[in-house]
Structure 1
Amino acid sequence: MSLRSPAYDQTNGASTLRPPRRAVFAFALGCLVFGYAFLQRVAPSVMTEELMRAFSVGGAALGSVSAFYFYAYAGMQLPVGLLIDRFGPRRMMAGAMATCMIGSVLFATSESLAIAAIGRALIGGAVAFGYVGTMTIAAHWFPAGRFSLLVGILQAVGMTGAISGQAPLRLVVDGTGWRDAMIMVGALAALLALAIFLVVRDRQDMRKTSGGMLSGMGRMLRRADSWGNAVCGLTLSAPMLAFAGLWAVPWLVQVHGYSKAEAGATTSIIFIGWGISAPVYGWLTDRIGRRKPLLYSGYAFAVMGLVGVVYIPELSPPAISFLLALIGIGGCSMVLNFTLARETNSPSDTGVALSFVNMCVVGAGAIFQPLIGYLLDLGWDGTEIEGVRIYSEAAYRIAFSAMIVGYAIGLAACFFAVRETHCRQLVEDR
């Protein structure tokens, strides 16, 4: 498995040695790649009007174009697990960031919806290497007892990228236009590609044959836990990826009268709540020795927050901010699904197990972004201002209810299909 060091046999979780300095740098760079992935993920949310105007489209079409990021990201997850385990993170992640630069420029210079979709797909497929690659580093270079905390740190850094993709990116868009802003974002990918190529090193003993990994995929897919964790992660992530990632800003502008910059800053509260709580979940779950109670509490917080913003009328700005924080705090409990996936699959199947859960997590964006856009178009009353469709509060309420249905499905999966591991590795290598 990727980056396995002889000093870090994680099968028994007994190692307490410090990880090599290069492993720390590799993990830090991986965190930056994941943060960059989130910046790209949410970028369309602060330029919805510009994109609708540039391509003369409505909500469903815009949601579909934005979702090409998620289609590619989710579709690449299982191949990513295989490729990183086979070839190592240095070449895979550096090459992916170079590809992301190309996709960003293509999206920024596109004159047609089809070319814009291809650009978003290249971006999504490229940044797909960041999360699983970084978690694989954490799983095989660091003591097993730190894995939940490291995943929490990784999520926290990802949220800084998401926050950067809200109000700060909106200021750049206001100053330069959306096309130049996206070219600047593409330049960041080039810098990350160079840094990864210069800093990260692969080990000869980390590489496996693709045949062994494919058999591991079969073992992983036969476990109900894998599917249960995937569904939980998908439903808990949907409001962050679809609501905050695309539709919260226009909702705040059109329904609550926020300016675009104010809406971007307010939407960032979801990412702040997510980022702050991610390391806390990682620390607390190891402290109490259980995983599922924190998942249940996460669903409780998330449901209260989403039901509040969707169904309570005439909310004040502080109330909206509080409820958005609850959505972020509750949704971030999905970090535990990655830990559970690791503990309910053998160590040699770690990469593909994490890839599968992450594929379904990001699949939330691919499913819910266009679904919400489609439901908004169904409820559209024909109001349009300067080529931009204006949706009513009732239309938003119906469209956002789809995420609440998702919560119910995920909670059932957590109850019936996810085992409590008591913070132990339940499946060992044979």
Structure 2
Amino acid sequence: MRNEAQAVPAAVTNRFSRIFLPFAAGYFLSYLFRNVNAVIASELETDVGMSADQLGLLTGFYFLAFACFQLPLGVLLDRFGPRRVESLLLLIAGAGSLTFAAGQELATLSVGRALIGVGVSACLMASFKTFSQWFEPHRLPLVNGYMLACGGLGAMSATAPVEAILGVTTWRVLFVGLAMACVVVAAVLWWVVPEKTNMTKAEPLRRQVAALFHILRSSVFWRFAPAAMVFSGAPMAIQGLWAGPWLRDVAELDRNAVAQHLLLLALATTVGFVAWGTLAERLGRLGIKPIKVAGAGLVLFLLSVMVLTWQPTGNVLPVWLMFGLCGTSGTLLYTVISTQFEVALLGRVITAFNLMVFLGAFSLQWGIGLVIGFWDAGPGVGYFATGYQVCFGLVVCLQGLALIWLLWPRDSSVSRRRPDY
């Protein structure tokens, strides 16, 4: 009995160190890359001479490339396994980081940013698939929540710590260092993470592609897709770039204060990832479905964006903390939609859903830049508050429509039909 009792903690520790931590390191880098432009935006504006729409487009290339690779990624994960796929893709992210570090104009910087997007595109989906293979189903919401929290730590590192680094070196040196980190994590994933040997044999490629099209034709999938775009996509678009300029132009904070606010915003995001996963797990024991928990969180997030649209004066930190805390509730939709399809389709379902999330993030991030550009206050000055008000108001409208579409009652008898392919 004693040996068995000792074996359980040992197994948990082994899975944590050899499975969870390597994938968490990759996702940490993914989120750091995603949010770092919010801090170096001023450098890009001055060093490269970027306008608001160019800055939005450049930063959004991460999301666009990320999104475009999601559909083939789902097939690759199901066919070759998450360990191999993520290891090789992180090398591409490293190459993209070096390209970005060397870029002198929009075209080169965009190529680098796109390569980074492709390179980190598997960091979350590969971990979700791996965890589903190694952890008990009832533990997945909590394990996934901790994984998402590691992304939040990456977002935190992209704020005040990056600002401190910029005080002693340049953003180009920073990206060289990030490229080296990508190579190290790729090596750890390749050599340390164990292979799951008792998995079923991969389907033929033709059948895999047919199943992917089945998912994209499903009415169940399109029930969740709009919410993915404007609820999960909005925090990425705003926190990843436009939160910093908003704090500078609307709240009129200096650089250090902006970095501190972004750090606390990232901290709220990190707490939110864990809190929503924990809350969904515990309420699930009481018979409350995750879709209801997610719906409550999405309503709160919509309210936070409404308040930011109103542009309160004085201390804006509580509103941004609510934005970060509630914006993570959309991650529960991954759990919900994954239960609507067969287990064999999990990799393709999640990556197709992720496609919608990142298409939404790209569209919102670039679109906000286009609209704000109409209220340009001048070179090096920033943008008028009216531009942000218009953009955030449009986001609120889109989120309201998506929420109605998501929560509108439907016949549940057709939600889990066996695919015909």
Whole-angstrom distance in 2 between the partners of 1:418 and 1:370: 34
Q: For residue 19 of structure 2, what is the aligned residue in structure 1? A: 26
Residue of structure 2 in register with 1:88 after alignment: 81
Which of 324, 329, 348 is the aligned partner of 2:325?
329
Correspondence 1:47 to 2:40: yes
Q: What residue is the counterpart of 1:217 in the other structure?
A: 212
Please, which of 358, 363, 366 is the counterpart of residue 359 of structure 2?
363
Q: What residue in structure 2 maps to residue 11 of structure 1?
A: none
1:159 equivalent among 146, 152, 155: 152
Provide the C-alpha distance between the structure 1 equivalents of 2:279 and 2:226, rounded to a whole number of angstroms: 23
Aligned to 1:338: 334
Structure 1 residue 426: deviation in Å? 5.3
Q: Structure 2 vs 1, CA of residues 426 and 281 (structure 1 numbering), >3 Å: closer, same or farther?
A: farther
C-alpha distance in 2 between matches for 1:271 and 1:356: 26
- Out of 192, 211, 222, the residue aligned to residue 185 of structure 2 is 192
Whole-Å separation in 1 of the counterparts to 2:411 and 2:60? 32
SS in 2 for 1:345: coil
CA shift in 2, pair 1:233/1:420, >3 Å: farther
Aligned to 1:388: 380
Alignment identity in percent?
A: 23
Q: CA deviation at 1:104?
A: 0.3
CA distance in 1, matches of 2:37, 2:410: 34
Q: Cα distance, 1:205 vs. partner? A: 4.9
Alignment counterpart, residue 398 of structure 2, candidates 382, 403, 406: 406
Q: Distance in 2 between matches of 1:158 and 1:43?
A: 13
8 Å CA contact 1:22, 1:200 repeated in 2: no
Render the CA deviation track for 1:336-355: whole Å, top value 9, x for unaligned: 11111210010000000011
> Which amino acid in the other structure matches residue 383 of structure 2?
Y
Q: How does 1:120-135 map to 2 (within 5 A)?
A: 120-135=113-128
- Distance in 2 (alpha carbons) for counterparts of 1:205 and 1:78: 25
The structural deviation recorded for 1:324 is 1.0
CA drift of 1:413 comes to 2.6
Shift of 1:427: 6.5
Partner of 2:368: 372
Q: TM-score, normalised by structure 2?
A: 0.90
- Of residues 57, 70, 78, the one that matches 1:64 is 57
More divergent stretch after superposition (71-80 vs 209-218):
209-218
Match of 1:230 in 2: 225
Q: How far is the alpha carbon of 1:363 from its aligned partner?
A: 2.0
1:185-209 deviation per Cα after TM superposition (whole angstroms, max 9, x unaligned): 2221111111111112334554513
Give yes or no for contact 1:297–1:330 (8 Å, CA) kept in 2: no
Per the alignment, residue 8 of structure 2 pairs with: none
Which one of 345, 350, 353 corresponds to residue 349 of structure 1? 345
1:167 counterpart letter in structure 2: A
- 3-state SS of the aligned residue for 2:250? helix
- The aligned amino acid for 1:338 is Y
The Cα offsets for residues 277-323 of structure 1, whole Å up to 9 and x where unpaired, read as 22222232232231222122112211221111220432x22xx1111
Name whichever of 260-269 and 126-135 sits farther off: 260-269
Unaligned runs of 5+ in 1: 1-17
Call closer, same or farther: CA 1:352–1:215 in 2, change over 3 Å: same
One-letter identity of the residue aligned with 2:229: L
1:45/1:244 contact within 8 Å kept: yes
The separation in 2 between residues aligned to 1:128 and 1:418, in whole angstroms, is 33
The CA deviation at 1:389 is 4.8
Tell me the residue number matched to 1:6: none
Aligned to 2:389: 397
**1:59, 1:389 within 8 Å by CA — same for their partners in 2?**
no
Mapped to 2, the partners of 1:270 and 1:419 lie a distance apart of 39
Deviation track 1:361-404 (CA, whole Å, cap 9, x = no partner) reads 12222111110000011222xx32xx425211112211222321
Give the aligned residue type for 1:292.
Answer: I
SS in 1 for 2:168: helix
**For residue 177 of structure 1, what is the amino acid of its counterpart?**
T
**Which AA in structure 1 matches 2:394?**
A
- Could you say if the C-alpha distance between residues 172 and 417 of structure 1 is closer, same or farther in structure 2, counting changes exceeding 3 Å? farther
Cα distance in structure 2, aligned partners of 1:144 and 1:212: 26
TM-score (norm 1): 0.88
In the other structure, the counterpart of 1:302 is 301
- Are the aligned partners of 1:254 and 1:390 in contact in 2 as well (CA < 8 Å)? yes
Q: Which amino acid aligns with 1:114?
A: A
User: CA, structure 1 residues 282+398, in 2 after alignment: closer, same or farther (shift >3 Å)?
Assistant: same
Q: CA deviation at 1:19?
A: 6.7
CA distance in 2, matches of 1:162, 1:57: 23
Query: What residue identity is the alignment partner of 1:163?
Result: M
Corresponding letter in the other structure for 2:300: F
Residue of structure 1 aligned with 2:263, choices 264, 268, 275: 268
Alignment RMSD = 2.4
Mapped to 1, the partners of 2:18 and 2:226 lie a distance apart of 32
Paired residues of 1:291 and 1:420 also in contact (CA < 8 A): no
- Return the offset for 1:257: 2.3
Per the alignment, do residues 312 and 99 of structure 1 end up closer, same or farther by CA in structure 2, a change over 3 Å counting?
A: closer
Looking at structure 2, the residues matched to 312 and 90 of structure 1 have their Cα atoms a distance apart, in angstroms, of 45
Aligned 8 A contact 2:150 2:270 in 1: yes
1:241-285 CA-to-partner distances (Å, cap 9, x unmatched) read 111110111121122221223212212333322221222222322
Contact 1:107–1:115, Cα closer than 8 Å, also in 2: yes
Distance 2:312 2:272 in 1: 28
